[in-house]
C-alpha cells in the first residue's frame, strides 16, 4: 500500500509540475533576405497589385524576376518564354543585386541603382517598396516545376503581339469567301498610347519592316474563349471602317493563325523584326526601334507612354 501511495504521489507531482511549467516552443531559425530571395526559382511580378503612383521601369516590363547568387534575371519577353526558354526559363541577366537586413539594392544595367525596402507578406509573397517613388510591387514565389508558363503567356497575348515590328501574312487558305482582309499583308501591334493600337498594310514582299507603308490604323482587342485557354479572339477596330473579327491561335512564338469568322478564311502570320526588351543574351542592347520612334530599351510595356499621331491618311476601300 505504501508503495502504491508513493507512486501515486509521484505521478500527481509530475502532473502538477508539468502543468505549472511553460510549454517549450521550437521555432524555425530566421533566414536571411538572400536566402528568402533565393528560396524560389521565379518571382512573378503581379502588376495588378502595384500600389502607388510612381514606377520602377525594370519592374514595369518584367513578368518574372529571379535572384541567383547576386545576379538578377528577368523574363521581359513572351517570345522565348518557357521552362526551356531564355536563361533556362529564368530570362536574361539584367543586373546585379545586394540584400542585407530587409533592404534590396539593385544595380540595373540600364536603369542604374534602385533600392527597396522588403516586406514578407506571407510564405510566398514579398512586397518591394521603392521609397524614391513611394510605390510598392508585389512578387509571388514559384519553383520552375510548378510555374504555369502557359497561363502567363496566354493571359498576356496582347503583349506577345507587340514583340515584333510587324506580322507578315504567309498563308491564306483556299477555303473561305473573298473579303477585304485578303488584301492586307502586314499587321503591326503598337505598345504605348492606349496600348491597343494597330496598323495594317497592303504592301507585298517587304524585306525591311521599317519601310512598310501603313495604310490603315485602329485599335485592337484580345478576348478569351470560354472553355479553351489556348484559343483567343482578336478584333481589329478600324478607325473609319467596320471591325474584323478573328479566332486567334498561337502556333509557336514566331507564328500566329487567324480564322476570319465572317468569310471562313484562315490566315497565317509570321513575326518579323523581333523586339528584345532591354538586351539580348549576349549582353548587347538591341538596336531596333518601335514605330513611334521610341528606342525599345525605353518602351514601357505595362506603363503606358504618350500617344503619337499617325501621319498616314486612312482611306481603306
We report the CATH number of the domain holding residue 104 as 2.40.128.280
Query: Is residue 27 in some structural domain?
Result: no
Residues 179 and 199 reside in one and the same domain: yes
Q: Pick from 104, 126, 154: which residue ends a domain?
A: 154
The helix/strand/coil state of 210 is: helix
Query: Whole-angstrom Cα distance, residue 250 to residue 230?
Result: 8
Q: How confident is the model at residue 290 (pLDDT cuts 50, 70, 90)?
A: very low
- Read off the pLDDT band of 292 (50, 70, 90): very low
* Residue 306, domain member (yes or no): no
% pLDDT > 70, the chain: 77
- Average pLDDT, stretch 86-98? 95
In the chain, pLDDT over 90 holds for what percent of residues? 70
- Who has greater pLDDT, 181 or 295? 181
Average of per-residue pLDDT across 197-212: 95
**Structural domain for 294, as ranges:** 157-298
Residues 168 and 210 in one domain: yes
> How far apart, in whole angstroms, are the C-alpha atoms of residue 274 and residue 71?
25
Rounded mean pLDDT, 30-48: 90
6 pLDDT above the threshold of 70:
no
Looking at the predicted structure, is the pLDDT value of residue 275 above 60?
Answer: yes
- Same domain membership, residue 130 and residue 227: no
Torsion-angle region of residue 175: left (phi > 0), alpha (psi -120 to 50) or beta?
beta
- Of 166-170, 266-270, 312-316, the one with minimum mean pLDDT is 312-316
Assessment of whether the complete model's pTM goes beyond 0.85:
no
Q: Residue 105's pLDDT is what?
A: 97
pLDDT score, position 251? 95
**Which range, of 26-30, 81-85, 145-149, 227-231, averages the lowest pLDDT?**
26-30
Residue-level pLDDT at 108: 95
Evaluate if residue 313 carries a pLDDT over 70: no
| Residue 250 grid cell | 498561337
Average pLDDT over residues 157-172: 95
Q: What angle is formed at CA 52 by the lines to CA 120 and CA 115, rounded to 5 degrees?
A: 55
**Cβ contact 67:38 at 8 Å:** yes
* Judgement on whether residues 290 and 163 belong to the same structural domain of the protein: yes
pLDDT of residue 288: 35
CA gap 204, 195 in Å, rounded: 26
Burial class (CB within 10 angstroms; exposed 0-12, middle 13-18, buried 19+) of 146: exposed
Within this chain, do residues 162 and 150 fall inside the same structural domain, yes or no? no
Residues 216 and 236 in one domain: yes
Per-residue pLDDT band at 276 (split at 50, 70, 90): confident
Residue 158, classified by CB atoms within 10 Å of its CB into exposed (0-12), middle (13-18) or buried (19+), is middle
As a whole number, the mean pLDDT across the chain is 82
205-211's contacts with Cβ under 8 Å and 24+ in sequence apart are 206/166, 206/168, 209/165, 209/166, 209/272, 209/273, 210/165, 210/273, 210/289
Q: What is the pLDDT of residue 278?
A: 60
The total number of structural domains in the chain stands at: 2
Q: Can you say whether residue 55 is alpha, beta or left, with left for phi > 0 and alpha for psi between -120 and 50 degrees?
A: beta
CB 87 within 8 A of CB 68: no
User: Does the pLDDT at position 16 exceed 60?
Assistant: no
* Residue 111 to residue 95: CA distance in whole angstroms: 9
User: Per mean pLDDT, which range of 67-76, 89-98, 306-315 is the poorest?
Assistant: 306-315
CA distance 58 to 144: 21
Q: CATH number of the domain that 273 lies in?
A: 2.40.128
Amino acid at each position: 500500500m505504501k508503495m502504491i501511495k508513493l507512486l501515486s504521489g509521484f505521478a500527481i507531482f509530475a502532473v502538477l509540475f508539468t502543468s505549472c511549467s511553460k510549454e517549450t516552443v521550437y521555432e524555425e531559425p530566421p533566414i536571411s533576405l538572400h536566402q528568402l530571395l533565393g528560396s524560389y526559382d521565379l518571382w512573378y511580378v503581379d502588376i495588378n497589385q502595384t500600389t502607388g503612383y510612381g514606377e520602377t521601369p525594370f519592374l514595369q516590363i518584367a513578368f518574372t524576376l529571379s535572384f541567383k547568387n547576386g545576379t538578377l534575371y528577368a523574363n521581359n519577353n513572351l517570345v522565348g518564354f518557357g521552362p526551356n526558354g531564355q536563361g533556362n526559363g529564368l530570362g536574361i541577366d539584367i543586373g546585379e543585386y545586394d540584400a542585407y537586413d530587409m533592404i534590396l539594392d539593385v544595380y540595373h544595367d540600364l536603369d542604374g541603382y534602385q533600392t527597396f525596402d522588403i516586406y514578407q507578406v506571407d510564405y510566398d509573397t514579398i512586397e518591394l517598396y521603392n521609397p524614391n517613388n513611394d510605390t510598392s510591387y508585389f512578387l509571388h514565389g514559384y519553383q520552375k516545376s510548378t510555374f504555369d508558363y502557359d497561363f502567363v503567356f496566354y493571359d498576356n497575348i496582347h503583349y506577345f503581339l507587340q514583340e515584333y515590328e510587324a506580322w507578315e501574312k504567309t498563308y491564306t487558305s483556299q477555303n473561305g469567301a473573298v473579303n477585304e482582309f485578303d488584301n492586307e499583308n502586314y499587321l503591326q501591334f503598337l505598345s504605348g498610347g492606349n496600348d491597343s493600337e494597330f496598323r495594317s498594310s497592303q504592301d507585298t514582299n517587304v524585306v525591311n519592316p521599317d519601310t512598310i507603308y501603313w495604310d490603315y490604323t485602329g485599335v485592337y482587342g484580345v478576348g478569351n474563349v470560354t472553355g479553351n485557354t489556348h484559343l483567343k479572339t482578336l478584333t481589329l477596330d478600324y478607325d473609319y471602317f467596320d471591325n474584323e473579327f478573328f479566332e486567334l491561335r498561337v502556333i509557336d512564338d514566331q507564328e500566329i493563325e487567324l480564322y476570319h469568322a465572317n468569310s471562313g478564311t484562315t490566315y497565317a502570320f509570321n513575326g518579323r523584326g523581333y523586339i528584345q526588351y532591354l538586351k539580348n543574351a549576349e549582353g548587347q542592347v538591341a538596336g531596333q526601334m518601335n514605330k513611334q520612334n521610341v528606342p525599345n530599351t525605353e518602351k514601357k510595356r505595362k506603363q503606358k507612354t504618350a500617344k503619337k499621331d499617325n501621319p498616314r491618311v486612312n482611306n481603306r476601300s
